[in-house]
Amino acid sequence: MQATVSFDRNLPLVGLNEKGQRTFFDATFDPSNPAMYASPMEIVLQSLAACSMMDIISILGKMRRAVLTLDARLDSQRAEVHPHVFTSVHVTYSLSSPDCSKAEFDKAVGLSMDKYCSVAAMLKASGCPVTWETEISAE
């Protein structure tokens, strides 16, 4: 995997992957001029949810369970001193499905967070605890 990130006089930074897809990274240096895009750390946090959600959707699909909606709320803490690493992350997954049990949903999330999600594995390897819980509703 290869990518580039470029700065051209002004923010945002523009990331470009091998497929030509762009990612924008921003920051707020001046409170009167808010960022238009997510910061790199916000993108890492969102990447944890996106990575695990891709797994969860795939696992539930293999279980032949319908996923109507799947959301993740993330609550994180960061170190007070530089480099302000994540010191904990908690994810609450909310699933709407007409035929998936809570046990099946928990199994899918557990498999993702403990075996398949590379972003979760990287965060955990850095010493950051990553915890999760699930909520489910039938529609």
Q: What is the pLDDT of residue 138?
A: 80
Q: Which CATH number fits domain 40-137: 2.120.10.30, 3.40.1410.10, 3.40.50.10380, 3.30.300.20?
A: 3.30.300.20
Amino acid at 108: A
Provide the pLDDT for residue 121: 98
Q: pLDDT tier at 93 (50, 70, 90 boundaries)?
A: very high
- 101-126 pLDDT, tens per residue? 999 999 999 999 999 999 999 999 99
For residue 47, which phi and psi values (nearest 5 degrees)?
-65, -35
Flag whether pLDDT at 89 surpasses 80. Answer: yes
Which amino acid does the sequence have at 44? V
pTM of the full structure: 0.93
Per-residue confidence (pLDDT) for residue 28, from 0 to 100: 86
